[in-house]
Every structure is written in structure tokens, then in C-alpha cells.
């Protein structure tokens, strides 16, 4: 048997760290790095299991973690890097077990804001979010004598823009009935323009938890998490046509019910029910590249096309009408609700 290797951080320890995300706190543990995802002891990002309040938040399709947990919501984070128990049977390189906060014994309100946006004060913006710039310039086309005969449509100079990062975190704890019923609500709203054009990201995360103690030995917990993110992308090859660049919107939500009963000081049993779902919408401009009419012809124009077909044996001609395959719906959406993107 391998001895369990685990690093545990509570809310107080995480708040004392120079980080403001759960990921930032986790990578302080030995053997954990962030490079295109979290990697534990050299394993792949998809080999790490994330458990939040007993819910294994792992996308069954990608194997990755597609949600977000506000740091202000977290009571304790445990990072397992070896010797996993049977409850983590699907873990291959690491386990990140997160327990969210319950309402304390008194009414608690915690509100935190972070920003480097000067809100129109350009002089102050240069201090809060100073950036250097770089240039993209297109080559000119010259003839054999060195004379410029043509050039690309534009010469572009792009500067790294102020990020104008804004984030609001909150936690509200409401003890309704002393030692019997309590509610906790927390969340995070983040908005950033990004340092490059089309690099903006918006994210909203909400977390709720209800704790019920019918008796001192029985605990019932109802909890839920909702996250929606709208990231934008940038690449140099699209810098003159960013309106045609794909947009993405991601949703994820989790909810569950946990029941625990302590039979003695060292014996208890648990029953858990939970659900974790993820959605992704990925749209591009409609190009008519899918045969939505089912006529075996692809017509990417906005109008009906007519073609003359000649029979090679008889010489007879037939006019074929090919309707447009552009229907006003962005491609790469689930048009026929089959679960497949087109």
C-alpha cells in the first residue's frame, strides 16, 4: 500500500497567499504545475479529478474540468498526489477535493472588489495597467527594380491594450434557525477586456448551500453551482476580420444532496446524490457548407441555383434546382437536436 500524500489548505491559509483563485492556491502544492491546465506529478490535465462538495466535476467527454469555483466560496482544499482511496477510483495523477463554506453561527457578509480599470482616467490607467506595444506590418510587393507595385490592404499597428480587469466576489451567510438551518450564498463576476483586441472574457459564477441538522447526529446538505463564461479569442491570422472569428459560450452547473448520519464518534454513513452538466456553444458566421436540404447538393449562396445536367447517353438535358443551404442559423450548432454539432 502507498501512503496517502495530501496537502490541505483552509480558507484562512488561502487568503494569506498572494493568489486570488483556487488554481493559484493549488499550484503552491509540491508536484503541481499549471500549463494549459493543472498537471500533478507529470500527468495529463485530464488525469486530475476535481471533487466539489462530493460531486466529481469531470466532463465525461473531454475528461477535463470545465467549471469554476470562486475562491471566496471555498472552506478547504485538499490536494492528493498519491495513495488515493477507493472513493477516487477514476483518478490517475491527482485529486483536488474542495469543500465550500457553510453559513457561520452569525450573519456574515463579505464583499471584495478588484480592478485595474481607471474608468476613463488615462493618466491613472498607465500606472494601474501599464503595457508596452508591438506592431504588425505587412510586406510590400516590389518588382525587379525594387519599385513598390502592390501591397496588402493595410498596415496594422496593434498595441497591448489596458486590460481593465474588474472582479467582484461576495459571500453571504445566514443562520436561519440556530444549529438547525443555515444558508450560504457566494459568487464571482469577472470582466476583462484583455490585453489584445478580441481578448475580452466575461464570467459569472454563483454558489449556494443549505445545511439542515434535524438532530445533532444527522446532517442534510443541499448545494448548487452555476457558471457561465463567454471567452473571446484572438489570433494574428484573423486580425483584420475579427467579426468573423468564432465565438464561444460555456455553461456548467452542478447540484446535489448529501445525507450523513453519525452512528458513533468514529462511525458514520453517507448517501449522496448529485448531477454535473456542461454545455458549449461554438458559433461561426454561416457559410452554407452543410446540406441542410438533404438534396445531395451544397449551395452556399443566398439564392436558388439552377444547373443544366446532360445525359451522356441520350443527350437529354434536365434543369436541376438547388435551393440555398443558408438558413440564417450559424453553422456548428445542433440544428436537428441530435447532440451532434454541424
The structural domain count of the chain equals 3
Asked if the structure places residue 183 within a domain, the reply is no
| 141 and 65 fall within a common domain | no
Asked if the structure places residue 267 within a domain, the reply is no
pTM to 2 decimals? 0.71
C-alpha distance from residue 325 to each of 96, 246, 304, 331, 338 (Å): 47, 20, 9, 11, 19
Asked if the structure places residue 48 within a domain, the reply is yes
| 12 and 62 fall within a common domain | yes
Distance (Å, rounded) from C-alpha 47 to C-alpha 105? 38
Q: Give the angle subtended at the CA of 95 by the CAs of 93 and 96, to the nearest 5°.
A: 140
CB contact at 8 A, 77 and 69: no
Q: Choose the final residue of a domain: 46, 67, 100.
A: 100
Domain range spanning residue 154? 117-162
CA dihedral 40, 45, 46, 51 (to 10 degrees): 60
| 33 and 70 fall within a common domain | yes
| 25 and 64 fall within a common domain | yes
C-alpha distance from residue 67 to each of 204, 253, 325 (Å): 11, 8, 35
C-alpha distance from residue 195 to each of 185, 199, 233, 248 (Å): 32, 7, 11, 19
Closest CA to 169 of 114, 94, 107: 114
DSSP 15: H
Mean pLDDT of successive 10-residue segments in the chain (342 residues)?
76 88 87 83 84 83 80 91 73 86 93 84 72 50 63 49 85 93 95 77 94 94 93 72 72 92 91 88 60 69 79 82 68 47 44
Strands 48-52 and 94-100 turn out to be: parallel
| 57 and 82 fall within a common domain | yes
Those residues whose C-beta lies under 8 Å from the C-beta of residue 98, and which sit 6 or more positions away, are 22, 50, 51, 52, 53, 69, 74, 76, 77, 78
Distance (Å, rounded) from C-alpha 233 to C-alpha 247? 8
Q: Choose the final residue of a domain: 109, 133, 162.
A: 162
User: HEC profile for 134-199?
Assistant: CCECCCEEECCCCCEEEECCCCECCECCCCCCEEEEEEEEEEEECCCEEEEEEEEEEEECCCCCCC
Distance (Å, rounded) from C-alpha 23 to C-alpha 14? 11
CATH of the domain at 58: 2.170.130.10
| 80 and 143 fall within a common domain | no
Largest CA distance in the chain: 93
| 142 and 74 fall within a common domain | no
For residue 243, the model assigns a pLDDT of 65
Amino acid at each position: 500500500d502507498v501512503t496517502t500524500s495530501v496537502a490541505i489548505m483552509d480558507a484562512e491559509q488561502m487568503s494569506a497567499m498572494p493568489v486570488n483563485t483556487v488554481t493559484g492556491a493549488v499550484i503552491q502544492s509540491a508536484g503541481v504545475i499549471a500549463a494549459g491546465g493543472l498537471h500533478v506529478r507529470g500527468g495529463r490535465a485530464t488525469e486530475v479529478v476535481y471533487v466539489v462538495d462530493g460531486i466529481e466535476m469531470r466532463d465525461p467527454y473531454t475528461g477535463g474540468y470545465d467549471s469554476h469555483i470562486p475562491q471566496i466560496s471555498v472552506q478547504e482544499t485538499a490536494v492528493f498526489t498519491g495513495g488515493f482511496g477507493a472513493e477516487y477510483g477514476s483518478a490517475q495523477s491527482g485529486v483536488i477535493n474542495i469543500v465550500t463554506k457553510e453559513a457561520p453561527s452569525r450573519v456574515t457578509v463579505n464583499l471584495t472588489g478588484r480592478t485595474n480599470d481607471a474608468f476613463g482616467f488615462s493618466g491613472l490607467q498607465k500606472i494601474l495597467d501599464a503595457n508596452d506595444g508591438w506592431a504588425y506590418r505587412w510586406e510590400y510587393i516590389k518588382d525587379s527594380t525594387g519599385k513598390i507595385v502592390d501591397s496588402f490592404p493595410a498596415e496594422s499597428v496593434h498595441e497591448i491594450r489596458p486590460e481593465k480587469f474588474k472582479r467582484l466576489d461576495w459571500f453571504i451567510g445566514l443562520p436561519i434557525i440556530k444549529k438547525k438551518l443555515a444558508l450560504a450564498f457566494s459568487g464571482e463576476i469577472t470582466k476583462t477586456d484583455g490585453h489584445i483586441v478580441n481578448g475580452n472574457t466575461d464570467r459569472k459564477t454563483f454558489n449556494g448551500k443549505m445545511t439542515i441538522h434535524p438532530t445533532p447526529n444527522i446532517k442534510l446538505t443541499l448545494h448548487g453551482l452555476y457558471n457561465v463564461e463567454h471567452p473571446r479569442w484572438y489570433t494574428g491570422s484573423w486580425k483584420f476580420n475579427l467579426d468573423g472569428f468564432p465565438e464561444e459560450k460555456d455553461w456548467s452547473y452542478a447540484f446535489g444532496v448529501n445525507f450523513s448520519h453519525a452512528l458513533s464518534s468514529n462511525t458514520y454513513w453517507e448517501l449522496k446524490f448529485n448531477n454535473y452538466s456542461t454545455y458549449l456553444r461554438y458559433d461561426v458566421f454561416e457559410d452554407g457548407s452543410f446540406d441542410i436540404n438533404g438534396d445531395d447538393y451544397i449551395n452556399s449562396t443566398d439564392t436558388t441555383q439552377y444547373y443544366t445536367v446532360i445525359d451522356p447517353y441520350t443527350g437529354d438535358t434536365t434543369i436541376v434546382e438547388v435551393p440555398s443551404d443558408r438558413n440564417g442559423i450559424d453553422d456548428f450548432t445542433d440544428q436537428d437536436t441530435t447532440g451532434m454539432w454541424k
